[in-house]
Amino acid sequence: MRKKFNKKERYSNGIAVVHLDGAIMPKIPRRPSMGSITPKEIIDDLELARDDKYIKAVLLSINSPGGSPVASEEIADEVKYLRKEKPVVGLFRDLGASGGYLVASACNELVAQKTSIVGSIGVLFGKNTYYELMRNLGVGHETFKAGKYKDLLSPHRDITDEERALVQKMINTSYDHFIDIVSRNRNLEEEAVREMATGWIFLGEEAKEKGLIDYVGNKQTAVERCEALGNFEHDKIVEKPDKSKGLLGRLMSPSTMSEIAYAHGQGIADTLSGKGEDRYILF
């Protein structure tokens, strides 16, 4: 038997708040999260809210720049599964971009503040190279491989035109899949989504005009939509106990710029140390 969403609180018509904060990434052993979130963390909370009979709706609070396509889609699939039983309303705070928007699109309805950043539908992939720097420093490198493309992402050589075309084909496939998901989840024409899918971002009012969200409002708006969709009056907004309120938790709390800085710095460090295997396409 599953535990209550929050066993310290008493409620009979609760609205569970699930937080999607930070970059969405798969779990990588021995690497600090620096505020990123894994599918398991969110899915565990969604399942707990689904199984708690005293939770009548879920408010998914989103503040994410996106991340791994697979990880984002895993969370979105769980949101769609949950909404078969209980309403799920997404609330954008500062940022709901790329993979963060993909997850949000699976909700019954979406609410954003006037200055929330929404959208950035697109796909990103890249690699670092430093072979020219090494050559200028008189440093050589040899690669032994079996498989024509095995060292395609090696920083020790440039990418060929043939390889560039293969990578772009893979990116385009992921891009089309992203557009298809948003189109189906938001009940929008595919061409309309494609026109917006430039990687650009929209503030609340424009996002509503384009059909990316349903309401411009705040947390209270999202709560009211939970009640309307579930046909109930709530007696408690239920948060899970926050385990990160110590000094370290506050210092390590996610922000868009810190996530970007970490990702960039980690990429350089991995490349220089020969640990560059963990490369991802990013939504």
Which residue out of 36, 68, 98, 120 is catalytically annotated?
98
For 22: left if phi > 0, alpha if psi spans -120 to 50, otherwise beta; the answer is left
Q: Report the C-alpha gap between 21 and 69 in whole angstroms.
A: 16
- Residue 94, classed as helix, strand or coil, is strand
Is residue 116 annotated as a catalytic residue, yes or no?
no
Beta carbons within 8 Å of 266's beta carbon, 6+ residues apart: 31
Which residue out of 27, 53, 114, 150 is catalytically annotated?
150
The one-character DSSP state at 232 is -
Is residue 27 annotated as a catalytic residue, yes or no?
no
Q: Are 58 and 14 in contact (CB under 8 A)?
A: no
Q: Are 102 and 178 in contact (CB under 8 A)?
A: yes
* Residue of 19, 31, 215 lying closest to 103 (CA atoms): 19
* Residue of 105, 68, 74, 71 lying closest to 90 (CA atoms): 105
Hey, which residues are catalytic here?
98, 150
